[in-house]
Amino acid sequence: MESTDLTLQQLMFSLIEVWKGSGKTQRDFCKEKEIAYSKFQYWLRKYNEEQPGGNESPGFVAIPVRRQPDQRAGTLELVYPDGKRLIFHQDVDPSFLRALLS
């Protein structure tokens, strides 16, 4: 790897570390830092591959929970990456959600 490639990798990996500690969504972080979301995704994949166990398929992934201003308590909307949505209009047991996500 050339030194410029290594420098870019170090920069992007350090930004990923900053993002991980920020509590922000990837998209919000990319907007704030003026980084193309696709570029961030590329480097995040590289970063994850270099972590111990990075080539293993992931288990559970942290899901940010955001309450919408007009959302009633007891309503849960689960949005999958492909755009499919599951909307629950009552409290949902975490073990049921775990079963859906596994």
**Cα–Cα dist 44/50, whole Å:** 10
Confidence (pTM): 0.50
Q: How do residues 47-89 score in pLDDT, each as one tens digit?
A: 888 877 655 555 566 666 666 666 556 677 777 777 788 888 8
Q: Is residue 57 in a domain?
A: no
State the residue range of the domain holding 17.
Answer: 3-50
| Residue carrying the six token digits 């940010």 | 64
Q: Is residue 40 in a domain?
A: yes
Q: Is residue 55 in a domain?
A: no
- Reported as a pLDDT band with limits 50, 70 and 90, residue 90 is confident
Same domain assignment for residues 8 and 36: yes
Q: Is residue 13 in a domain?
A: yes
Q: In the chain, how many domains are there?
A: 2
